[in-house]
């Protein structure tokens, strides 16, 4: 790369040419600074390399150029990081995400976080645990051993994921024990648990033991079903919970539970790491396949949906919707592909017949030429005119036969050509239907919201879920205010951009489980499951406020987009179309009341 000597670079602002100071100080916006940098490169005849342009740009702007982000080198370092433990996998992934951002601040923050996490291992855990054991056995004012054990268990449960916070809380717990101590003269308080453990049996309440056993069998066992060791330990702990008879058994059981909780946390970390790795692998596979099948629209549509499903956090509603749509589309596409294959086979058969017919016609004309050659020979060898009459008669007969064969072949070829053209049109129509069917799996092509088919399916699914669980479901119908005026003033393209802008704001403002569909024109329907009417009203009002904070640009002009909305709560026995009609009436009432309003249906 050609580099410019220091003498060719622009001087600093303190030593700049006074004749150019005014021009340089007027360059305040990035485009102006860029133009001035290019102008000076041309004026000073400096090679327009990226390094030279960067130097001029930052000199004119009065800023300091950051070093180029070495993404390739850092990615190689990230790939070489160890991944033998869940903690190492998390560290490597944190570093990879920072490198992937391509930003120095993100990389700095990641390195600082990793270093802070590493320094946590230098905390004096040994001294702290030794002091905890000593103070646990030591008598303290107003603190029995059982109460101290309960406090310790509470701290451990509340800070199990943050070792630094756990260390500080344990130190605070020690201070709380010793502050109430009146040194050696303090009277020792009786420990009811210790007294009972001296000989009397202690029975864990039957109801609590059954609840603990049920929790282990129904709550924990399904989550560790793929680990035979943990599954067996869960079964043993569930059985043992029903047989606790004295303090020693309870203490021993508590230790087993602690050990099991630690193993369960490790298992959860491993499963999370596996889940993230599989998601990353799926994303890579989908992205690579999409690049390979850019010309196959029917497959590209399905891959686009899969890519959208894996971009964010996995949600059971999104996955369920994708599965339903893919199944429907795959069935229809399979049918269309069979028809397309049959049509192509018929076309091949017609073309083969066309070639056979041409071959037969060629044979016929070849025979005719042979007859003509034979007749010519016979004519040359004839001695009188009587011999010529037979030759002429044969020539006429063969000519008529050849003409008839040529006529039949022409008709058959014309008919075959029509069949080929019809088959070709049928194939084109099937291919178009195949492409259109692929689009059914995708959302509204303009905004990305659900189309009517997707909206109907989401509505049916949410209604079934609400009736099954006895939960509430609210519908919000939105209509953009003054949309026709926007179209007439700025054009239909600006209107389309406004709809895309509105949907983007809606999607960011609502929950992942809330479905958003384009109901028609400039109307959007939002499904709010597990939401009461007052909560739905608050959601849409918050959406209005968010929309007012984000201006829409039309022809470089800031515009404020507003909407009027009507909200209805779907009764369990109510037809959904009736609820939508009630929301529609409330929406039009909001428009009549002055627009940019939200009203609930009676």
What is the rounded distance in angstroms from the CA atom of residue 564 to the CA atom of residue 512? 23
* Selection from 473, 492, 475, 474 nearest residue 483 by Cα: 492
Q: Which two tokens stand for residue 395?
A: 């020539």
Contacts 24+ apart (CB under 8 A), 207-210: 209/241, 209/242, 209/244, 210/242
Going 367 to 372 to 375 to 380, the CA torsion angle's sign is negative
Q: Does the CA dihedral 253-254-255-260 come out positive or negative? A: positive
Distance (Å, whole) CA 203 – CA 213? 15
List the catalytic residue out of 96, 233, 321, 522: 522
Torsion angle, CA of 84/90/94/96, rounded to 10 degrees? 40
What's the CA angle centered on 222, arms 218 and 225, to 5 degrees? 140
- What is the spatial distance between Cα 486 and Cα 85, in angstroms, rounded to a whole number? 58
Across the strands, what pairs with 31? Answer: none
d(CA 493, CA 484): 12
Phi-psi region of 403 (alpha: psi -120 to 50; beta: other; left: phi over 0): alpha
At a CB cut-off of 8 Å and minimum separation 6, what does 484 contact? Answer: none
Which tokens in the block code for residue 86? 């869940």
Which residues are CB-neighbours of 426 under 8 A, at least 6 positions away? Answer: 343
The string over 162-174, giving b where at least 16 C-beta atoms fall within 10 Å of a residue's C-beta and e elsewhere, is: eeeebbebbeebb
| Residues facing 478 on adjacent strands | 524, 565
Separation CA 119–CA 112 (nearest Å): 11
116 is catalytic: no
What does residue 67 show for φ and ψ, rounded to 5 degrees? -65, 150
Beta strands 598-600 and 563-569 are parallel
Q: Quote the tokens at residue 488.
A: 């007439």
Task: Say if residues 37 and 25 touch (Cβ distance below 8 Å).
Answer: no
CA angle centred on 246, ends 243 and 251, rounded to 5°? 90
| Residue 95 Cα distances to 53, 80, 99, 113, 229, angstroms | 31, 11, 6, 10, 33
Active-site residues, by number, are 522
């Amino acid at each position: 790369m050609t580099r410019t000597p220091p003498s060719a670079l622009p001087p600093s602002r303190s030593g700049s040419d006074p004749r150019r100071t005014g021009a340089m100080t007027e360059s305040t916006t990035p485009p102006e600074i860029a133009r001035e940098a290019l102008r000076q490169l041309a004026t000073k005849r400096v090679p327009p390399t990226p390094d030279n342009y960067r130097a001029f740009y930052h000199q004119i702007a009065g800023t300091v150029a950051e070093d180029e982000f070495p993404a390739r080198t850092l990615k190689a370092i990230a790939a070489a990081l160890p991944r033998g433990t869940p903690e190492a996998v998390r560290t490597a992934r944190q570093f990879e995400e920072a490198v992937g951002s391509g930003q120095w601040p993100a990389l700095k923050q990641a390195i600082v976080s990793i270093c802070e996490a590493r320094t946590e291992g230098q905390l004096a855990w040994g001294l702290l645990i030794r002091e905890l054991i000593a103070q646990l056995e030591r008598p303290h004012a107003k603190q029995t051993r059982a109460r101290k054990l309960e406090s310790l268990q509470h701290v451990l449960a509340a800070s199990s994921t943050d070792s630094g916070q756990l260390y500080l809380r344990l130190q605070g717990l020690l201070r709380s024990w010793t502050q109430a101590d009146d040194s050696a003269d303090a009277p020792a308080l009786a420990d009811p648990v210790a007294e009972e453990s001296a000989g009397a049996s202690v029975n864990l309440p039957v109801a609590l033991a059954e609840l603990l056993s049920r929790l282990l069998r129904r709550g924990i066992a399904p989550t560790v079903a793929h680990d035979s060791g943990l599954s067996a330990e869960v079964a043993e702990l569930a059985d043992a919970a029903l047989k606790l008879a004295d303090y020693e058994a309870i203490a021993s059981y508590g230790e087993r539970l602690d050990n099991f909780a630690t193993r369960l946390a490790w298992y959860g970390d491993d499963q999370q790491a596996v889940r993230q790795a599989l998601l990353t692998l799926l994303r890579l596979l989908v992205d690579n396949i999409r690049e390979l099948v850019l010309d196959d629209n029917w497959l590209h549509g399905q891959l686009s949906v899969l890519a959208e499903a894996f971009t964010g956090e996995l949600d059971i509603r999104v996955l369920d919707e994708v599965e339903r749509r893919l199944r429907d589309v795959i069935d229809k596409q399979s049918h269309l592909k069979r028809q397309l294959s049959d049509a192509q086979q018929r076309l091949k058969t017609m073309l083969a017949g066309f070639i056979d017919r041409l071959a037969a016609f060629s044979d016929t004309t070849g025979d005719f030429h042979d007859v003509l050659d034979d007749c010519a020979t016979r004519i040359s060898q004839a001695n009188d005119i009587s011999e010529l009459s037979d030759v002429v008669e044969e020539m006429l007969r063969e000519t008529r036969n050849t003409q008839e064969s040529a006529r039949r072949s022409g008709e058959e070829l014309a008919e075959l050509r029509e069949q080929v053209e019809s088959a070709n049109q049928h194939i084109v129509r099937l291919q178009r239907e195949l492409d259109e069917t692929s689009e059914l799996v995708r959302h509204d092509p303009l905004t990305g919201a659900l189309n009517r088919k997707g909206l109907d399916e989401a509505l049916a699914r949410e209604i079934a879920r609400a009736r099954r669980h006895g939960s509430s479901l609210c519908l919000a119908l939105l209509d953009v205010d003054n949309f026709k005026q926007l179209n007439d003033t700025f054009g239909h393209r600006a209107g389309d951009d406004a709809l895309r802008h509105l949907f983007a704001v809606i999607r960011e403002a609502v929950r992942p489980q809330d479905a958003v569909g384009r109901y028609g024109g400039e109307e959007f329907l939002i499904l709010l499951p597990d939401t009461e009417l007052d909560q739905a009203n608050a959601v849409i009002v918050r959406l209005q406020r968010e929309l007012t904070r984000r201006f829409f640009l039309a022809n470089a002009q800031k515009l404020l987009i507003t909407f009027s909305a009507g909200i209805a709560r779907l009764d369990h026995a109510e037809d959904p179309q009736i609820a939508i009609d009630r929301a529609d009436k409330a929406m039009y009432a909001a428009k009549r009341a002055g627009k940019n309003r939200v009203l609930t249906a009676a």
